Structure 1
């Protein structure tokens, strides 16, 4: 047992592993992954144990901003500073708290009030605050004006206002307005620059995510891929596909979220990746594509894992190698067992989420001969 760094440990609902020594956290996560995939030789990659996050969704309450209390979704613990968040994010949190000292906060039980969330993001080369408002609030215009005043003073590069229904607990929406800067953020991995939506998914631990990108690139680099084709499944804004494009003859990025595909196409152009294409497609309808051999696959599905139809189609396509990136080791274990024609050649764990039970895993699956 160790003394938690956070003074709100036990009250706040997050970071439940702070009382466990970090080396023990890593070993516990390694053992869990090994148990689920039935493979013991796992490389473990870790970085900063605190001050690593570059995205936080803070909840407004009458006294300021905070996070949900442990086991009490409707109660908010006031959080002046978050110890897993990076310095720039905490500085923006202070700016928001200082400006909105008595906010017209949304009541989680009565479903009235205006301000629901402040989503703060601080990628290494950019920053944003997304204010999430109750779209039915009668005070919307007053709050929007106040956010405009904040935008003129804040050090954040980008400010947007997002509107959600009162009974929808979400911090993203297609209904939004841009107040300052852009609705897109930029980040760099391994010398390549990527754009993604202020409201979109992107890894929140830059240092570890970049290590994971480099690791996957090195895995592919071991194979003869000059005349091979890469399928980047659940490809998001195209990071894996674009970073590995120099190794392959062609790259096909498949993603089902229109905004991500739009960003992927921009990123292909921005990085002059002439052999890559981005397609709007649900991975479960993969059979609609005409894919050439030899084929290599990188798949990075959501926590729910890969759709059975996707796995079935990959079985028919018989790629040489499948690199499976997963944020849910339990689901990974279930999915890997379905690839009966493949052996696990290597496995790695990347601790993108210290002080929590979560991690990322990368499994190298090689087709049996």
Structure 2
């Protein structure tokens, strides 16, 4: 993939851009195999490749520059904005919308936040595109001072971008390295973006997390569903369930499926998706480990944790529990390897690398674990 930003040295976020894609994918497989070398009987399924570019369904654009000339992209070493509106990783619908959003910043007089000076209002634009080419936009602001101006000019923006269906403001008053604050102000009648993944419509609320690469997310959920259907458990937990992707793909008649997620916004999204799809799955807002430690174990557990992994307490519970199988979806193979080592009673049987993040060293890996019969006896 060719990138003028990379060639000019303006942005080096895509650390593998100079490496041919086949070599990138082979290197990720090799890296994962090395980390899981302690399991020589592990069956490796073929890796799932991604499109090299245009795969991102969302962009998180730092807003720099000035009201008259805003820059949407990243910050340089001095904390000033670098414009990346034509980033080749972004889906074409996202790229097409960004010039209109830059013009809106000028029209609504939204002052970009100056990080070194700690002044200004608009910190980020967060833009997400659905498989149906609909958009969700979030303005991350320091205060609510400019909200009236956003409301005033929003009808013109919606007329210019009819694919823009959900718009909100996130208030993030602190000066610290986190993307958003707790308070969200919805500015449109619609409150969710519909992500049609495989045969399920997932409803995404503004503060809900969804995978960056829609096609690979769909493959991830198909693999999880295939393993669950093969094993046919009577009960399933989806820990760190997010908007319910794994849980809803696992739902079946006479199967008890429960999703556990700390984000109440994500839980609300999952409940809506389950209800509208007519699927029998329950969702609970809470801590995954705390839930596991106080609830009777199911036959199968799906875990899809953040990069830090599931941690020693949940590992210890799973290792000592009656859970027969675990489906572990990991975005960091190093923490996966550490967690697997802490659960010796559960043996990795199959694994698959899915390239969620082409042009970078990051990838997703799924592992199917089975309780060791000898240890169980």
1: distance between equivalents of 2:101 and 2:311?
41
- SS class of match (1:305): coil
Residues 130-159 of structure 1 deviation map (CA, whole Å, 9 limit, x = unaligned): 11111176x564455445643453331121
Aligned to 1:201: 209
Shift of 1:105: 0.9
Alignment equivalent of 1:162, drawn from 170, 179, 187:
170
Q: Tell me, which stretches of 5 or more residues in structure 2 are unaligned?
A: none
Q: Which moved more, 1:207-216 or 1:181-190?
A: 181-190
- SS class of match (2:224): helix
Contact residue 126 and residue 139 of structure 2 kept, 8 A: yes
2: distance between equivalents of 1:158 and 1:253?
25
Q: Tell me, which stretches of 5 or more residues in structure 1 are unaligned?
A: none
The 5 A counterparts of 1:163-182 are 163-182=171-190
TM-score with structure 2 length normalisation?
0.89
1: distance between equivalents of 2:92 and 2:243?
26
**2:100 is aligned with 1:118:** no
Alignment equivalent of 1:234, drawn from 232, 237, 240:
240
Contact residue 114 and residue 140 of structure 1 kept, 8 A: no
Aligned to 1:368: 372
- SS class of match (2:30): helix
Residues 303-324 of structure 1 deviation map (CA, whole Å, 9 limit, x = unaligned): 1110221112112223111110
Shift of 1:166: 4.5
Contact residue 301 and residue 325 of structure 2 kept, 8 A: yes
Q: Which moved more, 1:30-39 or 1:345-354?
A: 30-39
Contact residue 203 and residue 272 of structure 2 kept, 8 A: yes
Contact residue 165 and residue 193 of structure 2 kept, 8 A: no
The 5 A counterparts of 1:141-156 are 141-142=148-149, 145-147=152-154, 149-155=156-162, 156=164
Aligned to 1:320: 324
Aligned to 2:257: 251
Q: Which moved more, 1:276-285 or 1:43-52?
A: 276-285
**2:347 is aligned with 1:343:** yes
**2:7 is aligned with 1:14:** no
Question: RMSD in angstroms over aligned alpha carbons?
Answer: 2.1
Alignment equivalent of 1:222, drawn from 230, 255, 270:
230
Change (3 A) 1:273 1:73: farther
Aligned to 1:94: 99
1: distance between equivalents of 2:335 and 2:289?
17
2: distance between equivalents of 1:159 and 1:348?
37
**2:331 is aligned with 1:288:** no
2: distance between equivalents of 1:21 and 1:247?
45
**2:52 is aligned with 1:53:** no
Residues 313-342 of structure 1 deviation map (CA, whole Å, 9 limit, x = unaligned): 112223111110000111111111111012
Shift of 1:69: 4.7
Shift of 1:86: 0.6
Change (3 A) 1:169 1:69: closer
Alignment equivalent of 1:212, drawn from 213, 220, 241:
220
Residues 17-51 of structure 1 deviation map (CA, whole Å, 9 limit, x = unaligned): 11111011101111111111225753210121100
2: distance between equivalents of 1:185 and 1:140?
22
Alignment equivalent of 1:329, drawn from 333, 351, 363:
333
**2:275 is aligned with 1:269:** yes
2: distance between equivalents of 1:143 and 1:207?
33
2: distance between equivalents of 1:181 and 1:13?
39
1: distance between equivalents of 2:358 and 2:277?
32
Shift of 1:358: 0.9
Change (3 A) 1:115 1:282: same
Shift of 1:90: 0.7
**2:89 is aligned with 1:84:** yes
Contact residue 201 and residue 273 of structure 2 kept, 8 A: yes
Change (3 A) 1:243 1:136: closer
**2:193 is aligned with 1:185:** yes
